Amino acid sequence: MICDTLHLRPRYGEVDQMGYVYHANYVSYCHQARTELLRKLGVHDQVLEAHHVMLPVISFQIDYKKPARYDELLTIRTLIPVFPEVRFQFEFEFFNEQEQLLSKARSTVVFVDSRSRYPRGAPDFFKKALNRAWKHDENSMLRVERSVSFLATICPDTLQPLLNEKPGNDENNDFNR
């Protein structure tokens, strides 16, 4: 599991007449958070393109809890809960400055060869980049499991349920917990 955080402020053009972030902009924010997490891992878009890899979105779900507002500092927590093979899952949590949960989202992309346009497995260079972060995160998780209060500061609503779920059981991936 890999967890990352992105901070951003919605711009004036991203809100509706009520001053709330227009709902479709959350998709863009999730894309930005996903891109920045991959950039930190060394596999940004240019690297993917140079290796003829595309990551089209095949699924996107979002649950809105509270509105995000214009110029409010948002924290987006991005989680890679499962090591990717062909499909690659991301989970997102949006928080305001008061650390209130505003929304949760889940996105699934698939590895595609840009020349053939057919799905493919995660390339070796990509797996190596994730493995470096994954190993580091597993070490962190061992420390986190010993301290529930510390767990709450990393990804409070996301990590604990994932620690309890059984691998490969999609029924346990209910994102509405």
Active-site option among 4, 16, 170, 174? 16
Residue carrying the six token digits 């991959």: 38
The C-alpha atoms of residue 150 and residue 156 are separated, in whole angstroms, by 9
Q: Tokens for 134? A: 């994954």
Beta strands in 12-154 (DSSP E): 53-54, 57-64, 74-80, 87-95, 101-110, 112-113
Q: Tokens for 37? A: 């997490």
Sign of the C-alpha dihedral computed for residues 95, 109, 58 and 169 taken in this order:
negative
The C-alpha atoms of residue 50 and residue 80 are separated, in whole angstroms, by 23
Catalytic status, residue 4: no
13 close to 25: Cβ distance less than 8 angstroms: no
Which residues carry out catalysis?
16
